């Protein structure tokens, strides 16, 4: 990876204040010149990972495009909590059309800008995991395949939270949702299903694919900036915990996002033209229990009669990711 990860062991945590960094390395968000693209006053839940991720991502995209940005948004939490008319939080030109067509709408905007000769205007499209991996998948694949000049951002909270926490194809195995209840012989979501959107994006051979979490906002901003530096179809998959849907504490959002990465369950990497070019290494490897336990959607795995075999299967998924993406630092 081309940038040097900044390690600040002195804090004892993985966070670092901007004041410890050289101005050039500071985040977009610390600047009072940030665009506040999603204004305060929206209606997201406390501790909403998606609100945090979107704010950082869109502000970073605004910074990278000198404020020349148009955003398209799929139906979903982000759209609903940010817009009840006329209290839009959006300080960028923004359109919501439907649940499943956002990549295509973005294609249309990009085409219009091209025709109008407004090369400086950039286009982002955004949606949740349901809007991206399920109902909007056809349009997403079409946009990728045509290599349209759009940055698509998926805020992945692993389910249909807006409609009341139902399973999506990004819901992890064993997780409780309203449509995968923890009852019967195989409680929660089944194993062996679901799709890996970042890898599917890579299979299209598009110029840039990356994953990020809201636990490492500097990395998130960096990836948005990298994505904005190239033209063509780009995909950014951001892991955003959902306190409501996961049954987690609002103040655990960042911790859970970090644990997802540190367990290996959510590999953080970037890829160019279908090839992985860099990964964020696991700093301090954690067992998956640490990630699962704070979430009520996995509560049925624990308690008096813990489902150790199920936890072991989840651990195996994490271990496979670690091997596949080489997530453990040799020296660390």
Partner 1 sequence: MLKQIEGSLAVAEAVALCRPEVICAYPISPQTHIVEGLGKMVKAGKLAPCEFINVESEFAAMSVAIGASAAGARAYTATASQGLLFMAEAVYNAAGLGLPIVMTIANRAIGAPINIWNDHSDALSQRDSGWIQLFAETNQEALDLHIQAFRLAEELSMPVMVCMDGFILTHAYERVDMPTQQQVDAYLPPFDPRQVLDPKEPVSIGAMVGPEAFMEVRYLEHARQLQALERIPQLAVQFKEIFGRASGGLTQTYCADDAETMIVAMGSVLGTIKDTIDEMRAEGHKIGVLGITSYRPFPLAQVREALIHAKRFVVLEKSLAVGMGGILATDVRMALSGAGLHGYTVVAGLGGRAITKKSLHQLFRHAVKDELEPITFLDLDWNVVNKQLERERQNRHSGPIAENILHDLGVVSAKFG
Binding site for partner 1 (CB under 8 A): 67-70, 72-73, 79-80, 83-86, 88, 90-98, 100-101, 104-117, 121, 138-139, 141-142, 145-146
Q: Please report, in angstroms and rounded to a whole number, the separation of the first and last CA atoms in the chain.
A: 17
* CA distance readout (Å), 327 to 53, 205, 240, 324: 23, 23, 20, 8
Minimum gap (Å) between residue 66 Cβ and partner 1 = 9
Q: Which residue, 152 or 298, has its beta carbon nearer to partner 1?
A: 152
Q: Which residue, 21 or 98, has its beta carbon nearer to partner 1?
A: 98
Q: Write down the residue that tokens 């103040």 correspond to.
A: 251
Q: Are strands 69-73 and 151-156 parallel, antiparallel or unpaired?
A: unpaired
Residue of 44, 50, 60 whose CA lies nearest to 229 = 60
Minimum gap (Å) between residue 111 Cβ and partner 1 = 4
Q: Which residue, 141 or 169, has its beta carbon nearer to partner 1?
A: 141
Q: Phi, psi (5° rounding) for residue 177? A: -135, 175
Burial code (b: 16+ CB inside 10 Å, e: under 16) for 101-134 equals bbbbbbbbbbeebeeeeeeebbbbbbbbbbbbbb
Minimum gap (Å) between residue 76 Cβ and partner 1 = 11
Minimum gap (Å) between residue 109 Cβ and partner 1 = 4
Q: Which residue, 107 or 263, has its beta carbon nearer to partner 1?
A: 107
Minimum gap (Å) between residue 100 Cβ and partner 1 = 7
Q: Which residue, 139 or 212, has its beta carbon nearer to partner 1?
A: 139
Minimum gap (Å) between residue 137 Cβ and partner 1 = 10
Q: Which residue, 76 or 267, has its beta carbon nearer to partner 1?
A: 76
**C-alpha–C-alpha distance, residues 163 and 238, integer Å:** 20
Query: E strands within 85-207?
Result: 94-96, 122-128, 151-156
Minimum gap (Å) between residue 69 Cβ and partner 1 = 6
Contact between 285 and 332 under an 8 Å Cβ cutoff? The reply is: no
Q: Which residue, 38 or 217, has its beta carbon nearer to partner 1?
A: 38
Q: Which residue, 100 or 198, has its beta carbon nearer to partner 1?
A: 100
Residue of 264, 47, 61 whose CA lies nearest to 157 = 47
Q: Which residue, 112 or 183, has its beta carbon nearer to partner 1?
A: 112
- How many CA atoms, within 13 angstroms, populate the side-chain half-sphere of residue 151? 31
Minimum gap (Å) between residue 280 Cβ and partner 1 = 32
Give 172's contacts (C-beta < 8 A, 6+ positions apart).
Answer: 158, 189, 194, 265, 314
Residue of 214, 242, 239 whose CA lies nearest to 45 = 242
Query: E strands within the chain?
Result: 69-73, 94-96, 122-128, 151-156, 208-213, 234-239, 269-272, 275-279
Minimum gap (Å) between residue 36 Cβ and partner 1 = 12
């Amino acid at each position: 990876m081309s940038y040097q990860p900044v390690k600040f062991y002195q804090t004892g945590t993985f966070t670092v204040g901007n004041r410890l960094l050289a101005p050039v390395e500071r985040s977009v968000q610390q600047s009072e010149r940030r665009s506040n693209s999603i204004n305060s006053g929206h209606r997201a839940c406390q501790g909403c990972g998606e609100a945090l991720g979107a704010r950082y991502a869109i502000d970073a995209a605004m910074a990278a495009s000198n404020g020349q940005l148009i955003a398209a948004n799929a139906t979903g939490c982000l759209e609903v909590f940010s817009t009840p008319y006329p209290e839009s939080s959006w300080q960028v030109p923004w359109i919501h059309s439907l649940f499943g067509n956002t990549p295509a709408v973005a294609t249309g905007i990009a085409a219009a800008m091209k025709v109008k000769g407004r090369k400086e205007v950039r286009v982002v499209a955004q949606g949740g995991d349901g809007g991206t991996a399920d109902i909007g998948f056809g349009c997403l694949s079409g946009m990728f395949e045509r290599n349209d000049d759009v940055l698509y951002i998926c805020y992945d909270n692993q389910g249909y939270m807006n409609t009341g926490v139902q399973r999506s194809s990004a819901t992890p195995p064993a997780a409780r949702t309203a449509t995968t209840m923890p009852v019967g012989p195989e409680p929660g979501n089944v194993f062996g299903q679901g799709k890996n959107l970042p890898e599917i994006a890579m299979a299209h051979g598009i110029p840039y694919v990356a994953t990020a979490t809201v636990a490492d906002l500097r990395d998130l901003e960096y990836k948005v900036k990298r994505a904005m530096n190239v033209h063509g179809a780009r995909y950014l998959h951001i892991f955003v915990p959902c306190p409501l849907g996961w049954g987690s504490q609002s103040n655990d959002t960042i911790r859970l996002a970090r644990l997802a990465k540190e367990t290996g369950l959510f590999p953080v990497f970037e890829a160019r033209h279908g090839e992985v070019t860099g990964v964020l290494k696991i700093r301090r490897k954690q067992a998956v229990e640490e990630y699962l336990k704070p979430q009520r959607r996995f509560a049925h795995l624990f308690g008096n009669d813990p489902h150790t075999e199920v936890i072991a299967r989840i651990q195996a998924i994490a271990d496979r990711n670690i091997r596949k993406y080489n997530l453990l630092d040799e020296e660390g």
